[in-house]
Amino acid sequence: MEVKNKSVKGSQLKHMITKCLYFNKAMSCAELAELFDKSIPSIAKIINELIDEGFVVEQGYAPSSGGRRPLMYAINADAMYILAIAMDQMNTRIQLFDLRNQAVAEMMMFELKLGGNDQALTTLVENINLYLENCGVLKDKITGIGIGMPGFIDPVKGKNYTYLNSGERSLSQYISEETGLPTYIDNDSSLIAQAEQKFGIAKSQKEVMVINLSWGIGLGMIVNGELFRGRNGFAGEFSHIPLSEDGALCECGKRGCLEAEASMSVVLEKAIEGIEQGRITSLKLTDNEKSKQMVDAVMNAANNGDQFAIELFSDSGYKIGKALAILIHIMNPQVIVLSGRGAKVGKILLAPIQQALHKYCIPRLSGGTELLISDLGFDAELIGAAILVMENFDQEVKSQVVTN
């Protein structure tokens, strides 16, 4: 968080310090003074005000490194709360977090098909309001709603050009007015990338490609420490890298896209097909289980050694590796993180991905890229949605900041 040479005043600086402490476990007055280019007494004064207001707590003294140990300060986890929502094409999760990204109420998860569903937005808002009524926290203690969702999204305008038509109002404005809370939206893969870079296995890395393994295969790109969005904000459509000209038909209308060859949707379809054809497997199928939730059963089976399930993910991993070879040739990233729902079978995917990289990637390039499995996994999008709210916590302040 680079803020030096910025001119800010009292209330503005309060918001920025609160936001800074959210992203950092603990900091001293001296560290904050250097970061914000302010004197230590002025920072100490604001810290004391934030303590009185309940936003900051003393964290104890830093470990000794010689000399006087500085007193450390941290965010007060219960100062306010964030409503985080993670959506994919088929399911939605709602979770209330404190300021240390710890869940403070039970998660709500419900099926919500986005494609071809005119009632999707109404259903989403109804469930948000139901959650707010039952979560046990007063609405005025919730600072905002962050929502990660698939589709072509303009987070500044608050619009999703693919799903959830909100008419003349922006999507974020519509949800905000219907729930009574400030609402921010962003692409699911972009939020997952931010979660991995801020709090996950790629923390503080500057060049990171984060793969969102879900019903599609998304990509969030951290370039020079910042989320890269491209000219129109839609960068990262990894799902539609063409693997072949005569492959399966993709929802985008083209053939052989990565999504149509290797996504979780494809794994599930092949699992159901194999079971119906009598493949030897521990997986069982009833009419009620032909749903997207069955992919969890396929992942569990693979992790428990089911050869058929492993075969499905190995085939998917090899195709993902072929696409990653293209990405490495273009971006030359320091780290690639396998994240999202599919991180649960990350260890199974690694070997076929590496095999494909050996075959399709120039060794000098692939040898400098580290492939990691997310430790946030399926929670990454929820944490990214919480980050989205905090990134906008001082948005009114930002417009007043003047560079010296």
pLDDT at 395: 65
φ/ψ (deg, to 5) at 160: -115, 115
Backbone angles phi, psi at 149, to 5 degrees: -155, 155
Q: What is the pLDDT of residues 240-254, one digit of tens each?
A: 888 877 778 777 777
The answer to whether the beta carbons of residues 268 and 292 sit under 8 Å apart is yes
DSSP annotation string for 76-120: -TTS-EEEEEEE-SSEEEEEEE-TTS-B-SPPEEEE---TT-TTH
Model confidence band, residue 234 (pLDDT cutoffs 50, 70, 90): confident
Please report the pLDDT score of residue 62 as a whole number.
82
Could you tell me which residues come within 8 angstroms of residue 85 by beta carbon, excluding any fewer than 6 positions away? Answer: 92, 93, 94, 95, 128, 145, 146, 147, 148, 382, 385
How far is 385 from 389, CA to CA, in rounded Å? 7
C-alpha torsion sign, points 253, 256, 259, 264: positive
Q: Which residues of 305-314 are buried (b: 16+ CB within 10 A; e: fewer)?
A: ebebbbebbb
pLDDT at 399 over 70: no
What does the mean pLDDT of the chain come to? Answer: 89
Question: DSSP character for 248?
Answer: P
Give every CB contact of residue 395 below 8 A, 6+ residues apart in sequence: none
CATH of the structural domain 6-76, one choice from 1.10.3860.10, 3.40.50.970, 1.10.10.10, 3.40.50.10490: 1.10.10.10
CA dist., res. 126 & res. 19, Å (int): 30
pLDDT at 400 over 60: no
> What mean pLDDT do residues 186-203 have?
94
- Other beta carbons less than 10 A from residue 141's beta carbon: 11
- How far is residue 184's CA from residue 100's CA, in Å, rounded to a whole number? 19
Task: Quote the CA–CA distance of 106 and 112 in Å, as a whole number.
Answer: 19
Residue 66 has pLDDT above 70, yes or no: no
Instruction: Name the 3-class secondary structure at 336.
Output: strand
What is the longest distance spanned by two Cα atoms in the chain?
74
* Element of type H or E holding 389: helix 380-391
* Start and end residues for every CATH 1.10.10.10 domain found in the chain: 6-76
What is the signed CA dihedral for 173, 178, 179, 184, rounded to 10 degrees?
Answer: -20
Q: Which CATH class is domain 81-191+383-391?
A: alpha beta
Q: Which residues, at least 6 apart from 267, have a Cβ–Cβ distance to it below 8 Å?
A: 295, 298, 312, 313, 316
Does the CA dihedral 309-312-316-318 come out positive or negative? positive
- Architecture category of domain 203-375 in CATH: 2-Layer Sandwich (3.30)
Split at pLDDT 50, 70, 90, the class of 259 is confident
Confidence of residue 78 (pLDDT cuts 50, 70, 90): very high
Q: In which residue ranges of the chain is CATH 3.30.420.40 found?
A: 81-191+383-391, 203-375
Does this model's pTM top 0.75? yes
